[in-house]
Amino acid sequence: MKKCAIVGVGGRHKMFRESLVKKYAVNHRLVAICDSNPGRLRYAEQSLNKSNVSVACYLEKDFHKLLRVEKPDILIVTSPDYTHHKYIIAGAKKGCQIISEKPITSSLVYLKKIVTELNKVQTIATITHNYRYSPYRSQVKELLMSGTIGTVKAITFDWHLDRVHGADYFRRWHRYKSNSGGLAVHKATHHFDLINWWIADTPVSAYATGDNHYYNPINAKRLGIDNRGQRCKTCLSENCSFRLKLEAMDNLQKLYSDNEHYDGYHRDQCVFDGSIEIEDMIRAEVRYSRGAVLNYGLVAFSPWEGYEITFIGTEGTLSQKYLERSVINGDDSSLREGSNVQTSLLIPGKATERIKNPSSAGGHGGADPLMLNHIFADDGFPDPLQRKSNHFSAAWSAITGFAINRSMEKGKVVLIKDLIEDLAIPNELRLN
């Protein structure tokens, strides 16, 4: 029986919590939870009590006591990105198996600390890059591995966040670069991880431009949104389609609104606020060690949610278009289901082949349940696609985001070797 603890009991932790006390309860026991907010801690505890599970609760300041007293075998980190490093490092030093949410961290300085400290204690952390597990994306991996399109030379990849999901990053802690690294790190770490894993390669340079085109005060005026408040709750504007009514969504009310007086975390801050630091549109060119070039775009105010990708190989092209249903993070009523995907293969001299798509059910296009199974089911779970992501894989995806941030700031190409040296390359990012 493995003893588990979770730190950061906000929107995302619930998936891990429920898995541990239900499906994987046979060989796991959730012994403790930790958060900086006493109200959110109590809300998680009450939810557990309803399932007849009792756990020890620790505030952030008592985290080291948690490690000492509860001695968890597994530490799950689901706190905000800028806090990951301290929990990953402290837990690893105490001998815990670390399972942390993506991105591995929000800054290059913290990334280097994590890699150095984990090297010292000779441990490997799992970073939950769940997107690899989506059946559609695994299908792309299989097709590329089969060699059907030859060697990948170029990739165009456009990720669209719509005005429901995309806007949500501008309401919360993500809006400041120091908290999330911006969308180039916080969101695109998923995308760069997919690319690294799909083509089994690592980036060598990045050039990028980015700006905040939509979520700013000037655009609010252009849209005729006047009398804005700092948050939706106190906003006097009568015609803002971005208004988030926390009180209308049970989980958002109980998780955030009811506990905001403890820490001032307002879940419904104005998406047009002038203090927002992160970009809502990024265009980048990333070059890889074996010569492939990625042209990447991220937009957070799109009319649709999903992605389009084309791999141009020496023997043909592979394309996938994925239409996603949008979601408000932490709102249980809008879990993603029923998305739509089209995959096609074009080989010179042959008709376009529409590839039959695998079925998927569960969060993030069917990715979450498969990933949880991989993490918590018995050891020895077969992994021919090498989907399990460790802290080196996660570092290689975050580093592209850090390079993009630096490139946007300096207006020039950034070499990865100028950011970090001697970063180990995990097996799945090498051509075997």
Task: Provide the binding-site residues for ligand NAD, judged by CB under 6 A.
Answer: 7-12, 35-37, 40, 60, 78-81, 83, 101-102, 128, 130, 329-330, 364
Complex with ligand NAD: residue 130 or 196, whichever CB lies closer: 130
Instruction: Work out how close the CB of 37 gets to ligand NAD at its nearest, in angstroms, rounded to a whole number.
Output: 4
Instruction: Work out how close the CB of 20 gets to ligand NAD at its nearest, in angstroms, rounded to a whole number.
Output: 16
Complex with ligand NAD: residue 312 or 372, whichever CB lies closer: 372
Residue 285, φ and ψ in degrees, nearest 5: -120, 125
Instruction: Work out how close the CB of 60 gets to ligand NAD at its nearest, in angstroms, rounded to a whole number.
Output: 4
Instruction: Work out how close the CB of 106 gets to ligand NAD at its nearest, in angstroms, rounded to a whole number.
Output: 9
Complex with ligand NAD: residue 29 or 171, whichever CB lies closer: 171
Complex with ligand NAD: residue 12 or 283, whichever CB lies closer: 12
Complex with ligand NAD: residue 143 or 298, whichever CB lies closer: 298
> How far apart, in whole angstroms, are the C-alpha atoms of residue 111 and residue 65?
25
Complex with ligand NAD: residue 111 or 312, whichever CB lies closer: 111
Complex with ligand NAD: residue 21 or 183, whichever CB lies closer: 183
Instruction: Work out how close the CB of 15 gets to ligand NAD at its nearest, in angstroms, rounded to a whole number.
Output: 8
CB atoms within 10 A of CB 349: 5
Complex with ligand NAD: residue 132 or 287, whichever CB lies closer: 132
- Confirm if 126 and 389 have CB atoms less than 8 A apart: yes
Instruction: Work out how close the CB of 118 gets to ligand NAD at its nearest, in angstroms, rounded to a whole number.
Output: 18
Complex with ligand NAD: residue 60 or 312, whichever CB lies closer: 60
> How far apart, in whole angstroms, are the C-alpha atoms of residue 299 and residue 302?
6
Instruction: Work out how close the CB of 395 gets to ligand NAD at its nearest, in angstroms, rounded to a whole number.
Output: 15
- Kindly state the tokens that stand for 274: 């002038």
Complex with ligand NAD: residue 76 or 200, whichever CB lies closer: 76
The CA angle 199-12-129, to the nearest 5 degrees, is 10
Q: Cα dihedral angle (155, 160, 166, 170), rounded to 10 degrees?
A: 50
> How far apart, in whole angstroms, are the C-alpha atoms of residue 384 and residue 386?
5
Q: Shortest CA distance to 397 belongs to which of 125, 112, 104?
A: 104
- Confirm if 39 and 67 have CB atoms less than 8 A apart: no
Instruction: Work out how close the CB of 81 gets to ligand NAD at its nearest, in angstroms, rounded to a whole number.
Output: 5
Instruction: Work out how close the CB of 186 gets to ligand NAD at its nearest, in angstroms, rounded to a whole number.
Output: 6
Residue nearest to ligand NAD (CB): 10
Instruction: Work out how close the CB of 8 gets to ligand NAD at its nearest, in angstroms, rounded to a whole number.
Output: 3
